[in-house]
Chain A
Amino acid sequence: MGKLFDFDFLLEAFPKILRYLPVTLEITFVAMIIGLVLGLGIALSEIHNIPVCKQLGQGYVAFIRGTPLMVLIYLTYFGIPLMLESLNRRFGTGFNTNAIPPLAYAFVALGLNDAAFNSVAIRSAIEAVDKREIEAAHSIGMTALQTFKRVIAPQALIIAVPNLGNQIIGLIKGTSLAFTVSVIDIMASARIQGSRGMRFVEVYIDVAVIYWVVCFLTGKCAALIERRLRRSELTAPDEKTLEKNDIYERNV
């Protein structure tokens, strides 16, 4: 009888799986950028009540929230070629749907998914910025754009970072579904190694460890960034130093 659990196989498979980590990170990174840009757009259109955009955004968020990621991935995988094909037929364009690399579907599906959840996090962060500071910015003659850049965005960022960090961790884990559209990432690679030796627990332990480490480091990074951004709130000295320093000079 063979071994129930083969630790050597686990060790041997690990570097083979790890080799595909860049693919996982690439999907994460590109989807994150799509998610942040689109998410910010949706959030702003809701906050500023931009007609049509706002309704589209709300419908979009509602749709994505209620659709499993796997379904979304299949929808893009089968839906995008269909759309391009219909454009080809109607306008005589020459899109070659077979030339689309599988990675592109993973970027789009995960990015679209991420955008919906990001938009909620970004909107609540922007709305959490003290309205009185926004008034102050207006009162000193700053335009709406200047106010957003100098006052709202820097503070909203601090509030949004923990949520966005969680969002990225969710995204990293979500990339494990990309194998369903034949992307070879660490998950797909684990499946391949597993089938080769007919040993699956071993390879999934490998892949679990990799995901765990990446997510753990991402969480640490988010915490670090948040701490850096919050430095203005961490420098509060105690009451005593305050009193000692405060020798009020009269100018009258």
Chain B
Amino acid sequence: MLRLENVRKRFGDQEILKGIDLVIENGEVVVIIGPSGSGKTTLLRCLNFLVRADEGNLWIHDRKVNLAAADRKTILEVRRSTAFVFQNYNLFRNKTVLDNVTLGLIKGRGTARGRAEEIATAALEQVGMKKFMARYPNTLSGGQQQRVGIARAVALNPDIILFDEPTSALDPEMVGEVLDVMKGLAGDGTTMLIVTHEISFAREAADQVIFIDEGVVAEKGQAEEVLAHPREERTKRFLRRLLPDSAA
């Protein structure tokens, strides 16, 4: 189980996160939705210390980590038990697909190269990118790059994978291949926290949906419940804008 408590972050005089609480059970897929600028991405980044929160705690492995004051060693430990999939893939352009995936295992986890390559190959197989192993990222399409990005995260076998709008930078025809991979992971019982605008994906794959608006959790619950029968007025408005033809 992973738990976030009272996460707060401000940039200058703008308060982006106003005290977010969140519980994710092992094997659960949690989707965060919400208008742009509502703080979804910042929340993910705080969890992984890519952004330093002003306040808040993270419980991971029954261990309490202060998001605002953790030291370098703790940060490294948290990062080594989580993984991040970025909106713009953020692959290492000077490394082959295989090296992109093994780097974290070898350097971050201290896995021996041979073993790391086995794990990486399996992860690439899982996302359908095994035959592109020797290629460099800039020779791949966006969808392929993102699948490598997912393999890089999966290979680390983390407690949770954080997805930051993994399909937002993709051409529409490539969204499907990435979402399919993610559905596969969900089916395998991978714990995932996903920021996305793909409502139909959320409906299909998510256990829990959280609607964040203006830095607070405005509504949360079972995916079907929140998406089909939102209680809050602002959730309804948001979903109507996203799905103009739905009854919600």
List residues of A whose CB falls within 8 A of some B CB. Answer: 130, 132-133, 135-143, 146, 150-151, 154-155, 158, 232-233, 235-237, 242, 245-246, 248-252
CB distance from B182 to the nearest CB of A (A): 10
What separation, in Å, do the CA atoms of A249 and B131 have in the docked complex?
11
- B50 at the A interface (CB under 8 A): yes
Contact A141 B79, beta carbon cutoff 8 Å:
yes
Contact of A246 among B144, B152, B181 (CB under 8 A): B144
Neighbouring A residues of B183 by C-beta, 8 Å: 252
- B19 at the A interface (CB under 8 A): no
Neighbouring A residues of B144 by C-beta, 8 Å: 246
Neighbouring B residues of A137 by C-beta, 8 Å: 92, 103
Contact B50 A135, beta carbon cutoff 8 Å:
yes
- B126 at the A interface (CB under 8 A): yes
CB distance from A13 to the nearest CB of B (A): 48
- C-beta contact mask, B95-119 vs A, less than 8 Å → 1, else 0? 1100000011001110000000000
What separation, in Å, do the CA atoms of A158 and B187 have in the docked complex?
42
Contact B187 A150, beta carbon cutoff 8 Å:
no
Interface size on B, residues (CB 8 A): 45
Q: Of all chain B residues, which has the CB nearest A232?
A: B136
Known: A235-B139, A250-B128. A142 touches B108 (CB 8 A): yes
Contact A133 B104, beta carbon cutoff 8 Å:
no
- B84 at the A interface (CB under 8 A): yes
Contact B108 A245, beta carbon cutoff 8 Å:
no
CB distance from A9 to the nearest CB of B (A): 53
Known: A141-B108, A237-B139. A132 touches B86 (CB 8 A): yes
Contact B107 A136, beta carbon cutoff 8 Å:
no
Contact B84 A236, beta carbon cutoff 8 Å:
no
Neighbouring A residues of B95 by C-beta, 8 Å: 232
What separation, in Å, do the CA atoms of A248 and B181 have in the docked complex?
11
List residues of B whose CB falls within 8 A of some A CB. Answer: 48-50, 76, 79-80, 82-84, 86, 88, 90-96, 103-104, 107-109, 125-128, 131-132, 135-136, 138-141, 144, 152-153, 156, 177, 180-181, 183-184, 187
What separation, in Å, do the CA atoms of A135 and B83 have in the docked complex?
11
Sorted nearest first, the 4 A-B pairs with minimum C-beta distance are: A140-B104, A141-B108, A141-B80, A139-B84
Jot down 22 A-B pairs with beta carbons below 8 A, ordered by A: A130-B93, A135-B86, A140-B79, A140-B83, A140-B104, A141-B76, A141-B79, A141-B80, A146-B108, A155-B94, A232-B93, A232-B95, A232-B136, A235-B135, A236-B136, A242-B139, A245-B131, A245-B132, A248-B177, A250-B128, A251-B125, A251-B128
What separation, in Å, do the CA atoms of A252 and B188 have in the docked complex?
9
Contact A138 B86, beta carbon cutoff 8 Å:
no
Neighbouring B residues of A150 by C-beta, 8 Å: 92, 103, 107
